[in-house]
A and B are shown apart, each in its own frame.
Chain A
Amino acid sequence: MSKFLTASIGRKFIMSLSGLFLMVFIAVHLGLNLLLIFDDSGDLFNQGAHFMATNPLIKVMEPILGLGFIVHILWSFTLEYQNWKARPVKYAKKNMSGASSWASRNMLVLGALVLVFLIIHILDFFVKIKFTGDPSLTEVLVAGEHMENTYALVSGAFMSSTALCVLYILGGILLGVHLSHGFWSSFQTLGLNNKYWLKRWQIVGQIYAVVVALGFAIIPLYFMFGLYN
């Protein structure tokens, strides 16, 4: 098995599996976050957040998710380093635009930018909710249950800073572009592809990427333009 993990295909296999895992997380995360704009009272979002914070299964998944991120990120750097080493003398003139998509050639750059965003994002919300706390995180009662008012924290942040909104919009778009290649690519790497499925994976992948980008961008936009009541 160790041979497998160090082989070029094995490494890609890990990228692909961790990527698919993260994509599932992203879908769940997006679904939850969209509650922000469907209920301006914040009750729905707070309930969702509370569920995620207390459900035992999610609790188990949390470290696995963290591991998924770490593996995906670390592997991407080692892979890219290996690949970079494979061409010690670079071309003087390159014209690759006709042959491959920009996203596919720049997955590391895109991924790194997403990572930067992710760190800011975690510091903004996750750390505050989980560890440091924040003045806006007061306790609220929703449907007879006490919980933290995470809605206040998130909506407050977006309402108070246009810059933050722009950053989150960019983050969503970057993630979407990253996924526009990453989605079908994962299936290709797992060998789950053929001449019929290529188009299907790509279409589904594009839809998924657009939904993710739009979905994540729509939330800050919603607050930026004051569409809440």
Chain B
Amino acid sequence: MSILDSKIPQGPLAEKWTKHKATIKVVSPANKRKLEIIVVGTGLGGASAAASLAELGYKVKAFCYQDSPRRAHSIAAQGGINAAKNYQNDNDSVFRLFYDTIKGGDYRAREANVYRLAEVSPNIIDQCVAQGVPFGREYGGLLDNRSFGGVLVSRTFYARGQTGQQLLIGAYQALNRQIAKGAVEMYNRHEMLDVVKIDGKARGIIARDLVTGKIKRFGAHAVVVATGGYGNVFFLSTNAMGSNGSAAWQCYKKGAVMANPCFVQIHPTCIPVHGDQQSKLTLMSESLRNDGRVWVPKKKEDAVKLQKGEIGPNDIADEDRDFYLERRYPSYGNLVPRDVASRAAKERCDAGFGVNAEGKAVFLDFKYSIERLGKDVITARYGNLFQMYEKITDTDPYKEPMMIYPAIHYSMGGTWVDYNLMTTVPGLYSIGEANFSDHGANRLGASALMQGLADGYFVLPYTIGDYLADEIMTPKTDVNAKEFAEAEKAVTDRIEKLFNIKGSKPVDYFHKKLGHIMWEYVGMARNAEGLKTAIKEIQEVRAEFWKDVKIPGELDNLNPELEKAGRVADFFDIGELMARDALDRNESCGGHFRLESATEEGEAKRNDEQFTYVSCWEYKGEGNEPVLHKEDLVFENVKLTQRSYK
């Protein structure tokens, strides 16, 4: 346990954060001006952190690989953001939000962190409103809420179906204000390729200017990584095309421990894959399950005819439809949590009841709610989603049921951090989706936005001071130091190595292969044998990649293939670690389902005796197996129960 000190404050749960804030060190304004902080990534976490830190007086350098900070993939979140405001007077509270999040995460997150998240959640809403986020409102002018993700209260704030966009624009505006003041130096189209450590502490990064190909050195007193998740290891996911795990992976290689890498969320309502030409999956909001009924045919022959395109969904009579979620989970029905809904869809499709040509889709039918509520009500609720679906699939969901299938959506796992959000490398912080801290094995809907902004606005700006207070005597980092030179050389060497392979196949070829292995063996249902196969096959494809990848273009120019190659090279390693972690965790919890650990009815079975811990993997050099450390999870305020939705 030596390398893991979670620094969870002592005392009652509800007082931990307050006490902690009161006891950690603070940096004086005069000293803040001398301290530099690098923030990598400008999504909800990164943008809010960069802006808030600059407001405090620190000198901030912010980086994003996109052409503008506003493009970060937080922008794609649709549904909403949770906060324990209790505006609806429905007996919501900080504790209830904490409890829902811990339970939703299947008891694999830290109590103290989750409680703090719930505690600062109301401040987030206040902050966003003050910034001009146009949340949905009631006629009286006060904020409206919707319920979300099967919880018992209405605590989700929303801005139409574009909540992520509006929150990100809020943070981006705050960031822009600091850029205009000169408090933040913004580096667009720059990709972090390594973190630089001096005397064991994070002191800067190496980044590639994606337009000129120039490798540059940036020094600071602390580095914050806010680079999101690694879902694209699966090739097809709802992540943005450029979303990647490389920054977090370089941190891992420099000593930052990775936690729970096998915990990824598979979202049940995505538009299914068609053919083999697809590059990206599109998410349809979870809210659709409020009024849509999920089904596949009862009879195999109907399914076969659907797959061949001989009949349409409307040719199948009601009595021949299998509403399998309602059948299996009568009390929650179509509103079971994401992980459960996803697995159930996979089960039906694996049994041969899939409804599209590939046999990998189920129906989400609005016929019944249109009959019950009328088309107008459905249009008012989901009009824009229906339109989006029709644009993509050319099918009118008012007339024919939607086809949906699960897809990779979010990574709960990530860089291990202590209560201060610092990784195991001093001075290196990880926030938002990039860290592992708050969602355990399964994230609740509308909680990702909450966590990103909580970390960036209200946690990191306090906790980073505790570290920086001891750095006020440290002079400005010298980027000519030998550590920078070494790191830069390593980065350049790796890029040149990749570029000079000059093999025969494009990066996508290998990425797709990796994706298939991951989806097959490290996807919705995992077992020991499959995971071992995955590790072996990933190693094979990786070896092939390093021999035969073909990267065109130039090193000193905009070169998207070169960017992809670097990211995919890391995805192999991430994928392998995910498989290792999944292999170690021989229990089913949240999004992680081990076939060996299931009830007789095929439901997930947690094993609290053996696995109530955070799996923390330490890098031991190339070619060596990583070492597993365990952070035991202690639950003093909630009772662990088996989730049931029957």
> Are A and B in contact, CB atoms below 8 Å, in the complex?
no
Instruction: List chain B positions with a Cβ less than 8 A from chain A.
Output: none
Instruction: List chain A positions with a Cβ less than 8 A from chain B.
Output: none
